[in-house]
Structure 1
């Protein structure tokens, strides 16, 4: 069995044979991908898609309304496979999910992609159109060290119990409700609070 079973769409490959595609995030998935770091994107429910990318193909990950490029990645082998014909367990097996390994993220600063015409959740892209779209991201920003903290006042009968309650609150509330404080290493005076993946003012006096 090989993982390279999806049919190729004409005009959707580069000179080296690598396919280029656009993948549209389902509704609500953009926020989930933006709030918590993931190494891969896994999409299911693509049984009705006529053609899927092959392992190694390049993918532009898009969010809708408005249409914008939020990430770039390469297709990875799925962790599990299902029979292409559910009524015939011996039929050729197809991927249970489309798995994309991120190579570049732009969830915080997406770029417009309104000139693209998508044919569904997965669309083959001309190699030139894919290259032009990715070039809009510009060079990747320089990585640096950040200090991230989360302070919660917790009443407990012991330090160990306080720690357990801390992790319970983190799991329950998550980035949707808990403010995380971040600053460049060595510059704590420029600390900023983030909620829902965006800078949030935590000083009530400034709201008045």
Structure 2
């Protein structure tokens, strides 16, 4: 699979209703997207050709190159208008907002054969579709139970709850273990830290 820059030279012709692009996540963003659920991905400061609202996007992580999500552009411009009275207005960086339509951060698809040129690369529709086909349909959703237990010393239940939320905000998913299991099957409980399953049994580490 390769990109086709010539295909995007004429930005007025959109026979299929939308252009297709590859967007490379900034360093460290892949881990952040795995830790907390987000409905959208917002990027700023990317130069060169830019997608327009309605365009389809393949979201990639680098080193190694892999497809982690599909999305659609919902905002492709700078929201701040120019102010004629201000000869040198402070401009915000142009931003790109992508609404996720399919996530696969835990089971990414290899994309080594795809050539990208910078953070945003025009992508031929056939290459985009080939990536989407590898990703396949989303797996069925099911109910899960998620628990976070913290021993807290306090003078009252209300204070204990306040202390609990303070710890959650301070430590977050990077340090606190979360316990998760399919609803009705507590014996299948797993522990997750940093968005991945973690071993919490010190005896097994020996």
The structure with higher relative contact order (CA 8 Å, sep 6+) is: 2
- The CA distance in 2 between the partners of 1:54 and 1:20, in whole Å, is 10
Task: Write the mapping of 1:1-208 to structure 2, written as runs, cut at 5 A.
Answer: 9-10=8-9, 15-46=15-46, 49-77=47-75, 81-82=79-80, 96-208=94-206
Query: Runs of 4 or more off by more than 4 Å in structure 1?
Result: 11-14, 87-90
Contact kept, 8 Å, 1:83 with 1:89, in 2: the verdict is no
Q: CA deviation at 1:89?
A: 7.2
Q: CA deviation at 1:192?
A: 0.3
Secondary structure, in 3 states, of the residue corresponding to 1:168? helix
Q: TM-score, normalised by structure 2?
A: 0.87
1:140-198, CA deviations, whole angstroms, 9 ceiling, x for partnerless residues? 10100000000000011111111011001001111111000000001011000000011
User: What is the Cα-based RMSD across aligned positions, in Å?
Assistant: 2.7
Secondary structure, in 3 states, of the residue corresponding to 1:81? coil
Secondary structure, in 3 states, of the residue corresponding to 1:123? strand
Structure 1: unaligned runs, 5 residues or longer: 1-7
Contact kept, 8 Å, 1:9 with 1:51, in 2: the verdict is no
How many aligned positions are there?
197
Q: CA deviation at 1:97?
A: 0.7
Q: TM-score, normalised by structure 1?
A: 0.86
The structure-2 alpha-carbon separation of the partners of 1:113 and 1:10, relative to structure 1 and needing over 3 Å to count, comes to same
The structure-2 alpha-carbon separation of the partners of 1:156 and 1:73, relative to structure 1 and needing over 3 Å to count, comes to same
